[in-house]
Amino acid sequence: MSQDQPRYRRLMLKISGEVFCPPGGFGLHRRPLDRIAGEIGEVVQLGVQVAVVVGGGNFLRGKHTAEQLGLARATADYMGMLATVLNALALQEALERQGCPARVQSALSIARVGEPFDRRRCLRHLEKGRVVILAAGTGNPHVTTDSCASIRGLELSADVLLKGTKVDGVFDDDPATNPNAKLYENATYREVINGRLRVMDIGATEMCEQYGLPVIVFNIFKPGTLRRIVLGEPLGTRMGVS
């Protein structure tokens, strides 16, 4: 596929909070934040509409925080949603510094810093070339941001869900501990679910399977990979991609 012909018209990008700090780090750091914003901006320049779901793991994770602090899991999950709002606001500013218009829409009502999620308004932003950053997950505890990405991807009629991770795709074992772990270039939703391959939440994977939303899992820490995938290169692991 030629450089100026993106394969997708509208995409849902799911990124974890870990992309906003150095490996093993905490919080927000300027260099990785600007890199991610630049990669998203390059895709927008191709004429692609981009919605982004951000995680909050660079600040806290609900389950771990609940256990560590003795909190109710629902309380810790709400705290995690607020962490995603921090990331969303930072990403919005980073995108706009680079000349890429962006809007934050939150599943929790925080009117002073972001719009409430509204499907029709979100679609209008996308049609006008604005990146929409979706914060606070679905607004419900006990539900991951992966599930948010699949739900919003379907609501917004995205052509594909791109799941950016720190590994090259879906493996049959943890590549960090097993150097012989096999990378799947293509996998069925069922292989991922039944094999408990854990690169994406099972509920989210099942929803994508049920409604036929294609998924590509790729390494977002490798510069340029996002753009190359949008232009049709067969990188990462593809589920339901024709």
Q: Can you tell me the mean pLDDT for 82-109?
A: 98
* pLDDT above 90 for 242: no
pLDDT reported for residue 198:
77
Are 9 and 157 in contact by the 8 Å Cβ rule? The answer is: no
Question: CA 65, CA 75: separation in Å to the nearest integer?
Answer: 9
pLDDT tens, residue by residue, 156-183: 999 999 999 999 999 988 888 898 999 9
Q: How far is the C-alpha of 91 from the C-alpha of 28, rounded, in Å?
A: 10
For residue range 2-56, list pLDDT tens digits in order: 457 999 999 999 999 999 999 889 999 999 999 999 999 999 999 999 999 999 9
- Residues with Cβ < 8 Å from 227, sequence gap 6 or more? 39, 42, 43, 46
pLDDT (tens digit, 9 = 90+) per residue, 103-130? 999 999 999 999 999 999 999 999 999 9
User: In the prediction, which pLDDT does 2 show?
Assistant: 47
What pLDDT is stored for residue 236 in this prediction? 96
- Percent of the residues in the chain that have a pLDDT greater than 70, as a whole number: 99
Tokens of 67: 């256990």
Q: Please give the pLDDT value at position 3.
A: 57
Query: For residue 175, what are its two tokens?
Result: 């590549």
Q: Please report, for the chain, the start and end positions of each structural domain, with discontinuous segments joined by +.
A: 10-239
Binning pLDDT at 50, 70 and 90, where does residue 1 land?
very low
CB atoms within 10 A of CB 106: 24
Q: With 50 as the cut, is the pLDDT of residue 193 above it? A: yes
Q: What is the pTM of this model?
A: 0.95
Q: What is the mean pLDDT of residues 190-215?
A: 92
Q: Which CATH architecture has domain 10-239?
A: 3-Layer(aba) Sandwich (3.40)
* Distant-in-sequence, close-in-space partners of 132: CB < 8 Å, separation ≥ 6: 50, 51, 52, 102, 103, 104, 105, 122, 125, 126
Q: What is the mean pLDDT of the chain?
A: 94
pLDDT beyond 70 at 140:
yes
Quick one: pLDDT at residue 196? 86
CA atoms within a 13 Å half-sphere pointing along the CA-CB vector of 177: 3
The pLDDT of residue 28 is 97
